[in-house]
Chains A and B, each alone.
Chain A
Amino acid sequence: MKLAWLSLRSLWNFLLYASGWAVPVLGIAFVIVLLVALLQPVAWEFSIDATSDVVEIALPASPETSWRVDGAVICQRGAGAGPSVCGGRRWVALPLADAREAVLVLGGTATAGEQSVLNVTVEAQRDGEVRASVRSAQAGDPIGWLRSEGSDGIELTSPLNLVWSQPVEDGASSRELVWPFSAEVTIGRDVNWADPRLAREGEIIVYSASGETASKRTRVAETSLMPGDQVRLLTTGAGSDRIWPKGFLRFDSPGDRSGGKVDVVAYGAARSVLIERFGDKGYDFRPGWWARLMNDNRVLILFAVLSGLLAFRGSYAEGSQTPVENWRELRAAWRDYWSRKE
Chain B
Amino acid sequence: MTQPSPTAAPGFRPTFGTLVLTGCLAASHAFADDEALVASVRSFDESIRPEVSVSGSVIVGVAAASALSGEALDAALVNLPAELDTSELCLNVVSRDGIYYSRSIYELPAGAGGRAVRLPYKAGPRGDMPRSYGDTELALSAKLGSCDDIREQFLIVSAPGGSGAQPVRVYVNSFGATDVFLAGAGGAALGDCTYIKEGRRTTFDFWCDIPADAVQQLPAAFVIERERFGREQPHAEVTLLGTIPR
Contact residues, A106-133 vs B (CB, 8 A):
119, 121, 123, 131, 133
B residues bordering A, Cβ < 8 Å?
50-52, 54, 56, 97-99, 173, 175-176, 178-179, 192, 195, 197, 200-202, 227, 229-232
Contacts A159-B179, A194-B175, A197-B176: A281 and B50 contacting too (C-beta < 8 A)? Answer: yes
* Total count of chain A residues near the partner, CB < 8 A: 33
Find out whether the CB atom of A192 lies under 8 angstroms from the CB atom of B52.
Answer: yes
Find out whether the CB atom of B232 lies under 8 angstroms from the CB atom of A194.
Answer: no
Find out whether the CB atom of B230 lies under 8 angstroms from the CB atom of A190.
Answer: no
Contacts A119-B195, A195-B175, A279-B50: A87 and B231 contacting too (C-beta < 8 A)? Answer: yes
- A90 interfacial contact with B, CB 8 Å: yes
Contacts A190-B201, A195-B176: A75 and B230 contacting too (C-beta < 8 A)? Answer: yes
Residues of B near A20 (CB, < 8 A) are none
Name the contact of A192 in the complex, choosing from B99, B192, B202 (C-beta under 8 A). B202
CB distance from A231 to the nearest CB of B (A): 12
Contacts A139-B192, A161-B178, A194-B173: A87 and B232 contacting too (C-beta < 8 A)? Answer: yes
Residues of A near B52 (CB, < 8 A) are 192, 278
Cα of A84 to Cα of B136 in the assembled complex, Å: 35
Contacts A230-B200, A276-B200: A281 and B230 contacting too (C-beta < 8 A)? Answer: no
- A91 interfacial contact with B, CB 8 Å: yes
Cα of A119 to Cα of B195 in the assembled complex, Å: 10
Cα of A338 to Cα of B209 in the assembled complex, Å: 103
Contacts A86-B230, A88-B231: A194 and B195 contacting too (C-beta < 8 A)? Answer: no
CB distance from B125 to the nearest CB of A (A): 17
Residues of B near A87 (CB, < 8 A) are 227, 229-232
Residues of A near B51 (CB, < 8 A) are 278-279
**B198 nearest in chain A by CB position:** A232
- A102 interfacial contact with B, CB 8 Å: no
Find out whether the CB atom of B232 lies under 8 angstroms from the CB atom of A281.
Answer: no
Find out whether the CB atom of B179 lies under 8 angstroms from the CB atom of A194.
Answer: no
Cα of A288 to Cα of B179 in the assembled complex, Å: 41
A301-336: CB near B (< 8 Å → 1, else 0) gives 000000000000000000000000000000000000
Of the A-B pairs whose beta carbons lie under 8 Å apart in the complex, a sample of 30, sorted by A's number, is A58-B197, A86-B230, A87-B227, A88-B230, A88-B231, A90-B227, A91-B230, A123-B229, A133-B178, A133-B229, A135-B178, A135-B179, A135-B195, A139-B192, A159-B179, A163-B229, A189-B201, A190-B98, A190-B200, A190-B201, A191-B202, A192-B54, A192-B202, A194-B176, A195-B176, A276-B200, A278-B52, A280-B50, A281-B97, A282-B200
Cα of A58 to Cα of B197 in the assembled complex, Å: 9
A38-56: CB near B (< 8 Å → 1, else 0) gives 0000000000000000001
Cα of A281 to Cα of B51 in the assembled complex, Å: 9
Name the contact of A88 in the complex, choosing from B54, B98, B178, B227 (C-beta under 8 A). B227
**B199 nearest in chain A by CB position:** A276
Residues of B near A56 (CB, < 8 A) are 197
Find out whether the CB atom of A190 lies under 8 angstroms from the CB atom of B195.
Answer: no
Cα of A86 to Cα of B99 in the assembled complex, Å: 37
CB distance from A101 to the nearest CB of B (A): 24
Scoring A194, A281, A282 by chain B CB atoms within 10 A of each residue's CB, the highest score goes to A194
Contacts A192-B54, A280-B50: A119 and B197 contacting too (C-beta < 8 A)? Answer: yes
- A193 interfacial contact with B, CB 8 Å: yes
Contact residues, A175-231 vs B (CB, 8 A):
189-195, 197, 230
Residues of B near A119 (CB, < 8 A) are 195, 197
Cα of A56 to Cα of B195 in the assembled complex, Å: 12
**B181 nearest in chain A by CB position:** A90
Residues of B near A86 (CB, < 8 A) are 230
A154-171: CB near B (< 8 Å → 1, else 0) gives 000001010100000000
Find out whether the CB atom of A90 lies under 8 angstroms from the CB atom of B230.
Answer: yes
Residues of A near B229 (CB, < 8 A) are 87, 123, 131, 133, 161, 163
Residues of B near A276 (CB, < 8 A) are 200
**B49 nearest in chain A by CB position:** A279
Residues of B near A163 (CB, < 8 A) are 229-230
